[in-house]
Every structure is written in structure tokens, then in C-alpha cells.
Amino acid sequence: MLSTMLLDQDFVATVIAPKQEVIKAGVWRCPICTYDNEDSMSECDICGVLRNPLVKFSGNSNRTAANFKRLSSLDMPSSEREKNILIESELGAEGPNSSSASLGRDGRSVVKGRETASDSGSKPEILNSSMSSVSLSSKSRTENANEDKDKSNLQYKPESWMMPDQAEGRLSQLNLAIVGHVDSGKSTLSGRLLHLLGRISQKEMHKYEKEAKQQGKGSFAYAWALDESAEERERGITMTVAVAFFNSKKYHVVLLDSPGHRDFVPNMISGATQADAAILVVDASVGSFEAGLDAIGGQTREHAQLIRSFGVDQIIVVVNKMDVVEYSQERFDMIKQKLGTFLRSCGFKDSSVLWIPVSAMENQNLVATPSDTRLFTWFHGPCLLDAIDSLQLPARDYSKPLLMPICDIIKSQSQGQVSACGKLETGAIRTGSKVLVMPSRVVATVRSMERDSQVCSIARAGDNVTVNLQGIEGNRVTAGGVLCHPDFLVHVANQLELKILVLDVTVPILIGSQLELHVHHAKEAARVVKILSLLDPKTGKVTKKSPRCILAKQNAVVEVVLQGSVCVEEYAKSRALGRVSLRSSGRTVAVGLVSQIMKTQD
Ligand code: GTP
Ligand code: MG
């Protein structure tokens, strides 16, 4: 047993050994363009990529690109800005199946992924433990290594403008992640919805159809509205999260169309951490639904586990491509029964899961009741748009100090401006507000803001915005960082105690295991230094102290040391900044929360 464990440990360590960035004294090699820069340079002299972005983690050689693309056709503000922007690549590596980034000619990031995904396996198993039991059983110790010096003496009082004004008459924002197995039709569905709701004009649609046909990809015409890069279009897969929006009767819906390919799960995570609710798209075709639920590389499975661990508890399961199965009720019921069992095991309540059969391709049951008799004879539920309107908004923390994890940076080279994009998790900001940019600890002023390409003067918890900052150098703002209130600093830590639920893995987690820690938009290499205890999944009580390893489906408390520091909070203080997932060899191996911050940067 021991020798097997040591072998596994070696294997894990070998697979994700940290990459050496410094290749010779006084020089560091740019991971994107491979130019050797002088040590004094904080960003690459050739391509401008940051040397030490917060978002970095170990890996063999490949790196992931910026997680997000704000759609130029739907979301980008002005053509002038388009010419100038440079979306900072998020410099992280993913292990053997990862993607790499380069900057395209237009200055936007282009992701280079591997052609095929190779799966490291685990046997099909149903996850018994409820993730909610992990995520709800957090109690941080009172004896905390990390005293809240900055915060303890200050009582935060929100100003009146920070609270939403009903008279403003604007629709509440619902951040909706579109997740699911590769090729299930997420982008096609998103493109169709945007077209049906007038966000893509007929002219634009004709253009997509024509171009897609010319490249022999006629069936991807709707997906092209979301898959903008040449590589995405050529390969017919989404690589980065596409952000678009539309208005329903009740909500201003921000769609986060995620990649389904397993190589791009880190990008999917970055989108899903912003979600208030999710649409889980499954492909009804025979064999495809089953592939998505397969324990080896099934992304229906991994995505469902991940979104639940990020606190998303309401989902709409869209059973897509019903046209392929002749709108069969029998097939729909079978999918509902099988996937329903799995979702229950992830901690989703039956009452929070809606099941909608659709065909994105044939426009059935998207924004109106179905017209195909094979569907409307047996399905009498809401169409997708009505289902979206039936979702409940999670409570927003307007009255807490500002916290906005940064998912992307936009630099305007010509004007020397820097903007941070992300969703406000708590608090509010307005033009002229002072914000503290972490982990740089530099105070900047909000020069202007944009929500959905429109200038806005106030942003509040739940809003997805681009914040143009004044009084700060571009290299001090990093994806994976956080904007916070100058008097209420977010913690920057490199040693954490975590409560985790191990997923269906075959390789146990051991002391010394090398993993990738994901927390909001930050990623960092993590080493397990202590396994403190195993927990009863139902009661949260300690069942065993100092076990040698953690197996699949076990709940445990571990201590991890990070290679670099991340902006993080204890889960009890901030859910959004205290939820983590742990990955290894391109798979999510555990999800959990930060129960204690052990060591901060200072
Ligand atoms: P990734 O983002 O790479 O995970 O893929 P995706 O889930 O976004 O799938 P995408 O929208 O790119 O569609 C994949 C393929 O499925 C395309 O060829 C689509 O035309 C096809 N497709 C999508 N929806 C439907 C549908 O309702 N019926 C049929 N028959 N095909 C569909
Ligand atoms: Mg897609």
C-alpha cells in the first residue's frame, strides 16, 4: 500500500512539476513569445505580457489564455477601443492537457489548445457526499494566524448611494453560466437566443452563415457569434468564456458561454465563479449524453460538480438536440432520471432543477412554446426564456465593503489606461471612488465604468463591469487580483486550511501531493503539507485524525502551501472569495472552502 502511494505521489509530482521561469541569471523568459527579458523588466519587452501575474501555477510547458472574451460584435464598446485594447493573457499552465496563449494580430488573445484530450481515468462512481455539507459546515477558528488588523477597529457603514434605488427602474442583473460537455450545443444555443432576442441582427447572422459555410462549418453559424477567434472557429470548439447579454421580461441576463472541452476547464471555472445560476446543456443524442456523464472525462459531470461547489444551486438542464432523437419523450425521461440522480448526489435539490427539452438548431422551445408536434404533444412546461425568468436572484451584499475579483485586464496602449473587468461580489463603486488594487496594494481612482458596453456611473454587487482606473500603472493590476475598499483589505495568503470533498478520483490525495488551487479567478500551485482530519460528510464531525491519505468521496481538512500568494478570504467571511477547487493532471480532484487563512504575505 505504501509503495503504491509513494508511486502515485511521484507521479503527481512529476506530472505537474513547476516550470522554471528564470533560465539564466539576470534574465527571465517570456512564457508567451519566449523572448529573454532583463530581470528588471516587469513585463515582456516584446509582447507586453506580465512577468509575475498573480494568476500562475505550475505545469509542464503550456499555458492558458485570458479566460474571457467580451464579444466585439455584441459587447465591445467602440471600434477605436477595439484597435487599442490588449487583453492580458492569464499566464497559467494546465499540466499535460493544457492550452497555450499567444497574442493575435488584432491584439486580442488567441488560445492554442491541444488537438485532442487524453483522459486520465477513474472508474464511474456516483458521488454520495453532498457538496452542500462541505460548503455549509465552515467554522473558522477564533485563534487565527491572520489577525484582521485593518478591519477589526473599523465598522463599515455603506453610503446611501450604494443601496439599489428601485426608482432607477433598471432590470436586475442575472449572471447565467452556460456549461456542459463539449459539443452539446452551448454556443449554438446562446447564439440562437441572442438572435431571437434581437441582440444579433439579421445582417450579422447572414454574415456568420456565409462565412461558416465557406469554411465548411455551416452548422456552427450560431456558435460563431460566440466563438470569435480564428482557432475556435477552425476547431469548432469554444476555448474562452464568451460574455454577452440580453433582456428577458424580468432580468438583464449576462450570458457566460463556457468552453466544454476538458482542456479549458480552468477558463470555465473563471466564468462559473461569477454565476448566479447556470444552464447545464446536455446533448440528447444517443452516445453523446452518455459520454458527458462518463466518469472519465465527462464534462456534464465535472461542470455540475464545479458549479455546485461555487455555490450555484439553481440550474436549468437544457436537453438539447432533441431533433436528433425525434423529440422522444422516452429519451428525455431517461436523461432526466439518470442525470437527476447524479445532480442530487452533487447537492442540487430537485426543486431547484428545471428540465427543458429543446432544439437550438430547429428553434424549438427556446423563446416560445414548441411548434413541432412531436414535442408539444407531451411537453407542457415553460420554454427556456420563461424558465430563465423563473430563476431567483441570490441575495446581494450591497452593504458590505467592496470586493471585486478581477477576471481580465484591458490595457489601452495608446492612452496608457488600464481597466479591470469582473463582477462585484459585495459593495458598490461609482465614478471617482477610491479602490485598493490587490495584491499590489495601490490605491487607484475609478475614472469611468462600463456595463455591457454602456458607460455607467454606479456599479453594485452582482454587476459585471469594466472599471477604468486612474493613478495606477498597468502592471500593478492583474487578473486574479481583487479591487477592494481602501480600508477593508482582502487577505493575500500563501498557506491555507481547507475543508474539501474529494471527487471520484483513483489517485488518493497524500501529504506532498501537488495540486492546482483555483479560487475566484486566481490559480496557484499548491502542495498538501498536512492532512489534519477526515470528516463525517453528514455531521461534519472529525472521524479520524491525521489520516495518511484521502480517498474518493471523503471529506477532509487539509493544509496547503501555495507557490505564490492569492487574494483570498475565509469562507465564513466571503463565500465568493472562500470557495476553492483543486485540480491535478487536467481534472478536478476536490472542491471545498477556505476554513482558515494560515499565513499571509506580510
Ligand atoms: P464547446 O463550446 O466546444 O464545448 O461546444 P458547444 O457546446 O458550444 O457546441 P456548439 O454550439 O459549438 O455545437 C456543436 C455542434 O452541435 C455544432 O455542429 C452544432 O451545429 C450542433 N448543434 C447544436 N445544437 C444542435 C441542435 O439542437 N440540433 C442538432 N442537430 N445539432 C446541434
Ligand atoms: Mg461553445
Q: Tell me which DSSP letter residue 485 carries.
A: -
Q: Kindly state the average pLDDT of the residues 579-588.
A: 91
* Span 340-370, pLDDT tens digits: 999 999 889 999 999 999 999 999 999 999 9
Give the pLDDT score at 51.
Answer: 54
Name the closest-CA residue to atom 5, ligand 1. Answer: 183
The rounded Å distance from CA 191 to ligand 2 centre is 10
Ligand index nearest the alpha carbon of residue 360: 1
Give the pLDDT score at 124.
Answer: 27
Mutate to test the pocket of ligand 1, among 69, 116, 188 (most ligand atoms within 8 A of CB): 188
Q: Are 210 and 224 in contact (CB under 8 A)?
A: no
pLDDT at 7 over 50: no
pLDDT at 149 over 60: no
Q: Are 69 and 90 in contact (CB under 8 A)?
A: no
- The total of other beta-carbon atoms located within 10 Å of residue 198's CB is 10
The rounded Å distance from CA 182 to ligand 1 centre is 8
Q: Kindly state the average pLDDT of the residues 532-548.
A: 91
The rounded Å distance from CA 233 to ligand 2 centre is 10
pLDDT at 598 over 60: yes
> Is the pLDDT higher at 572 or at 61?
572
Mean of the per-residue pLDDT values for the chain?
Answer: 79
pLDDT band for position 168 (cuts 50, 70, 90): low
The rounded Å distance from CA 261 to ligand 2 centre is 9
Helices 329-346 + 299-309 axis angle, to 10: 40
Q: How far apart are CA 153 and CA 474, in angstroms?
A: 32
* Span 253-300, pLDDT tens digits: 999 999 999 888 888 888 888 899 999 999 999 999 999 998 877 999
pLDDT at 446 over 80: yes
Element holding 373 (H helix, E strand): helix 373-376
> Is the pLDDT higher at 100 or at 218?
218
Q: How far apart are CA 489 and CA 483, in angstroms?
A: 9
Q: Are 581 and 269 in contact (CB under 8 A)?
A: yes
Q: Of 123, 126, 129, nearest to 506 (Cα)?
A: 123
With 0-12 / 13-18 / 19 or more C-beta atoms within 10 angstroms meaning exposed / middle / buried, residue 520 is buried
In ligand 1, which atom is closest to the CA atom of 261? 4
pLDDT at 425 over 70: yes
pLDDT at 18 over 90: no
**Within 13 A of 432's CA, how many CA atoms are on the CB side?**
1
Mutate to test the pocket of ligand 1, among 219, 235, 328, 332 (most ligand atoms within 8 A of CB): 219
- The total of other beta-carbon atoms located within 10 Å of residue 538's CB is 11
Give the pLDDT score at 148.
Answer: 47
- In the chain, what is the straight-line distance between the N-terminal and C-terminal CA atoms, in Å? 41
> Is the pLDDT higher at 566 or at 540?
566
Q: Are 259 and 237 in contact (CB under 8 A)?
A: yes
Q: Kindly state the average pLDDT of the residues 393-410.
A: 93
Ligand index nearest the alpha carbon of residue 218: 1
Residue with cell 487574494: 567
pLDDT at 304 over 60: yes
The rounded Å distance from CA 190 to ligand 2 centre is 9
pLDDT band for position 599 (cuts 50, 70, 90): confident
In ligand 1, which atom is closest to the CA atom of 223? 11
Q: How far apart are CA 284 and CA 318, in angstroms?
A: 9
Q: Of 151, 146, 148, 153, nearest to 487 (Cα)?
A: 151
Composition of the chain by helix, strand, coil, percent to 5: 25, 30, 45
Give the pLDDT score at 25.
Answer: 66
Name the closest-CA residue to atom 13, ligand 1. Answer: 185
Name the closest-CA residue to atom 20, ligand 1. Answer: 219
The rounded Å distance from CA 219 to ligand 1 centre is 8
> Is the pLDDT higher at 338 or at 31?
338
Residue 405's DSSP bridge partners are 482
CB proximity list for 473: less than 8 A, separation 6 or greater: 418
> Is the pLDDT higher at 548 or at 154?
548
Ligand index nearest the alpha carbon of residue 361: 1
Q: Kindly state the average pLDDT of the residues 105-124.
A: 28
In ligand 1, which atom is closest to the CA atom of 232? 3
Ligand index nearest the alpha carbon of residue 279: 1
* Span 35-86, pLDDT tens digits: 566 666 655 444 344 455 322 222 222 223 345 666 644 543 333 333 232 2
The rounded Å distance from CA 1 to ligand 2 centre is 43
The rounded Å distance from CA 291 to ligand 1 centre is 15
Per-residue burial over 388-426, b = 16 or more CB atoms within 10 Å of its CB, e = otherwise: beebeebebbbebbbbbbbbbbbbbeeeebbbbbbbbbb
Lowest mean pLDDT among 36-45, 118-127, 386-395, 581-590: 118-127
Q: Tell me whether strands 482-484 and 172-180 are parallel, antiparallel or unpaired.
A: unpaired
Ligand index nearest the alpha carbon of residue 227: 2
pLDDT band for position 589 (cuts 50, 70, 90): very high
The rounded Å distance from CA 469 to ligand 2 centre is 32
The rounded Å distance from CA 11 to ligand 2 centre is 33
Ligand index nearest the alpha carbon of residue 259: 1
Q: How far apart are CA 185 and CA 180, in angstroms?
A: 9
The rounded Å distance from CA 60 to ligand 2 centre is 26
For the chain, give the percent of residues with pLDDT over 90: 58
Residue 422's DSSP bridge partners are 465
> Which is it for the CA torsion 306, 312, 313, 318, positive or negative?
negative
* Span 490-509, pLDDT tens digits: 999 999 999 999 988 889 99
Give the pLDDT score at 224.
Answer: 92
Mutate to test the pocket of ligand 1, among 183, 189, 228, 257 (most ligand atoms within 8 A of CB): 183
Name the closest-CA residue to atom 14, ligand 1. Answer: 183
pLDDT at 517 over 80: yes
For the chain, give the percent of residues with pLDDT over 70: 73
Q: Of 421, 420, 405, 304, nearest to 353 (Cα)?
A: 304
> Which is it for the CA torsion 195, 113, 261, 582, positive or negative?
negative
Q: Kindly state the average pLDDT of the residues 308-331.
A: 95
SS3 of residue 516 by DSSP: strand
In ligand 1, which atom is closest to the CA atom of 226? 8
pLDDT at 126 over 50: no
Residue type, 112: K
In ligand 1, which atom is closest to the CA atom of 358? 27
Lowest mean pLDDT among 152-166, 320-334, 366-380: 152-166
SS3 of residue 86 by DSSP: strand
Residue count of the chain, please give it.
Answer: 602
* Cis amide prior to 439 (ω within 30 degrees): yes
pLDDT at 180 over 80: yes
Q: How far apart are CA 381 and CA 401, in angstroms?
A: 41
Q: Of 86, 18, 24, 25, nearest to 56 (Cα)?
A: 18
Which residues does a 6 A CB cutoff place in the pocket of ligand 1? 182-188, 219-220, 223, 237-238, 259-261, 320-321, 323-324, 359-361
pLDDT at 311 over 70: yes
Q: Kindly state the average pLDDT of the residues 225-229.
A: 90
Q: Are 460 and 449 in contact (CB under 8 A)?
A: no
